Structure 1
Amino acid sequence: MDNNQPESILKVSDLCVQYGTFKAVKEVSFDVRKGEIFGLLGPNGAGKTSTLSAIEGLIKYQSGTVIVDGHDAKEKPLYARAAMGVQLQSTSFQAELKVSEILQLFAGIYGIKLTNEKLSAILKDISLEDAAGKRFGQLSGGQQQRVSLVISTIHNPRLVLLDEPTTGLDPQSRRQLWERIEAIRERGHAVVLTTHSMEEAESVCDRIGIIDHGKVITIDTPQALIEKHRNDPEVIAVSRKGRVTLEDVFIALTGKTVRA
């Protein structure tokens, strides 16, 4: 690693995931640095969910290595998982539980003492200071995502994995969640973000990796990818109104065919 580069919190090397005879992930490699938001993009079925699941420890991978905060995920899975915070696309908290109960529950799971003062401070920070007694099911989608994001970082993990966190949110809620994700980066965490929104990837991510058919086909900053490919015939063919966007580059690299 370049001595001028921040340390890598996540390092994935030659990762392979196979279901029976089907190879879903084929020798995928990338790293995510301290204080960086890394976007993992790909069409449906490209392999990004399998890659994320392998990192999280939800599925077994056949070969390759996953190093989280210096811990090999196969050799020291508990240490690797302790260094991670995960926010899934759909939350599974019980709708009848109060917001304060959910926060207390997960703080207890991570062995964190959550005083009333600290609880109030957390809720104030996410603009839900009046929602402690509300049931989770009574919250809006944006409010639920803010609670979920807090829970994923309540134990101050070095690596935060966010799986399409803004899906279904209105523009105001989406922008607010972007700001909170950026605040996580500013605190020195490494963030992996999956999204189908090219606007989100271009606005929030420091670097992105595009994966298709189980392989990483490119990694760079959003702007560098646009500049690199803006004159490609395939990009020019799909661009609209004469302005090349990250979405144009993404479609040119992965094809226009709709995936199931």
Structure 2
Amino acid sequence: MSQIISIQGLSKTYKSGFHALKNIDLEIEKGEIFALLGPNGAGKTTLISIICGIVTPSAGTVTVGGHDIITDYRATRSMIGLVPQELTADMFETVWATVSHSRGLFGKWPDPAHIEKVLKDLALWDKKDSKLITLSGGMKRRVLIAKALSHEPQILFLDEPTAGVDVELRNEMWGLVRHLRDSGVTIILTTHYIQEAEDMADRIGVINKGELILVENKHELMQKLGQKQLTLQLHDAIDTVPAALKQHQLVLAKDGQELIYTYDSQGERTGITHLLTDLAEAGIRFKDLDTSQSSLEEIFVDLVRRDQ
């Protein structure tokens, strides 16, 4: 993949002295889904706002498609679609009018066929003549996405896109996101639903206190930092873990009928092999086993806790 967004030494300090961003370096690849995770106040929205030209950086550079966001802002903004958390359009406008108007703001010629396609993709076509004030919260969220897609951007920012929407709409929206990614659109999202990042993202970035503390391929991150557990259901219950097995730091659970072994991916093969050998030598038999792995949410919480 080629880089479509390049961020070097980016910082933002407000007049109050608050350091919202501290020396951020980040490359976003063309055509990927990149999830930016972080607690409230971590700097997610500030970072997005700078890239989109809404907030001015204090230091550093950002290029979008090779164009500097300051010196060539017209080119960079035309490449970007932003889905904010709130709809700020005139509530008495129709869906068709507000989406068409958004396209015109970016200097694009009217294209009714494209607007029709966007509205149909978002299940808004039957609402095209409805005023925004009459729409439900979920429908308004779809309008936000339609406005962001009206000028055919190459990059789409989704800032908490599914907050407060029902499960059905959330699934529909992520189906659209996958379709956009498949068509070559780069997606950058922030979300409090970490399960969404786990399901959707190609790469994960974690930001905390204005600093980017990790950027990693999702699968590599979960393999590297995610702990795994092997649960052994014993043939016969035991009262305590035998001394010969202490080195494995096993946890005895469920009235002595389960042994739980926690390990990481690096020591997976040798650790389990040694464990099974030692179990046999200790005369402990098991009738079934099960494995599980840390979720992205557990990894995220652990990363942020370490950074406190």
Question: TM-score over 0.5 for the alignment?
Answer: yes
Please tell me whether residue 141 in structure 1 is matched to residue 141 in structure 2: no
Q: C-alpha distance in 2, partners of 1:111/1:11?
A: 25
Name 2:67's counterpart in structure 1.
71
TM-score normalized by structure 2? 0.74
Question: Which of these residues, 212, 218, 221, is aligned with residue 217 of structure 2?
Answer: 221
Equivalenced residues, count: 246
Letter in 1 for 2:210: G
Match of 1:154 in 2: 150
User: Which 5+ residue runs of structure 1 have no aligned equivalent?
Assistant: 1-5
Corresponding residue for 1:251? Answer: 301
Secondary structure of 2:162's partner? coil
- Show CA shifts across 1:89-134 (max 9, x none): 1111222211111122222223334455544333222222211111
Give the secondary-structure state (helix, strand or coil) at the position aligned to 1:255.
helix
Task: Say which of 34, 40, 49 aligns to 1:53.
Answer: 49
Mapping of residues 49-198 of structure 1, within 5 Å: 49-114=45-110, 116-198=112-194
C-alpha distance after superposition, 1:67-86 (max 9, x if no partner): 01110112212221122111
How far is 1:242 from its partner?
Answer: 5.9
> In the alignment, residue 299 of structure 2 is paired with which amino acid?
V
Which of 4, 11, 31 is residue 9 of structure 1 equivalent to?
Answer: 4
* Deviation for aligned residue 1:165: 0.7
Q: Which residue of 2 aligns with 1:23?
A: 19
Identify if the C-alpha distance between structure 1 residues 147 and 58 changes in structure 2 by more than 3 Å, giving closer, same or farther.
same
SS of structure 2 residue aligned to 1:39 = strand
Bigger radius of gyration, 1 or 2? 2
RMSD (CA atoms): 2.2
- 2 CA distance for matches of 1:121 and 1:42? 34
From 36, 44, 51, the equivalent of 2:40 is 44
TM-score (norm 1): 0.87
CA distance in 2 between counterparts of 1:200 and 1:102 reads: 29
Contact persistence 1:202–1:246 (CA under 8 A): yes
Identity of aligned residues (%): 33
| Structure 2 contact 226–293 (Cα < 8 Å) conserved | no
Distance in 2 (alpha carbons) for counterparts of 1:15 and 1:188: 26
CA contact (8 A) 2:83 2:144 kept: yes
What SS is found at the alignment partner of 2:46?
helix
Alpha-carbon distance, 1:256 to partner: 9.2
Once residues 151 and 38 of structure 1 are traced to their aligned partners in structure 2, the CA distance between those partners, rounded to angstroms, is 21
Structure 2 residue runs without a partner (length 5+): 229-261, 263-290
CA contact (8 A) 1:161 1:193 kept: yes
Partner of 2:244: none
Counterpart Cα distance in 2 of 1:124 and 1:22: 44
Q: Distance in 2 between matches of 1:116 and 1:55?
A: 29
Deviations 1:9-30 (A, max 9, x none): 1111111111132222111111
2: CA distance between counterparts of 1:33 and 1:94? 35
Q: Give how far 1:176 is off.
A: 0.7
CA–CA separation in structure 1 for the residues paired with 2:56 and 2:89: 25
- Which piece of structure 1 moves more, 203-212 or 242-251? 242-251
Cα deviation per residue 1:185-205 (whole Å; 9 max; x = unaligned)?
Answer: 111111111111110111111
Q: More displaced, 146-155 or 159-168?
A: 146-155
2:223 corresponds to which letter in structure 1? E
Secondary structure, counterpart of 1:208 in structure 2: strand
AA aligned opposite 1:252:
D
In structure 2, relative to structure 1, the CA distance for the partners of 1:120 and 1:230 (3 Å cut) is: closer
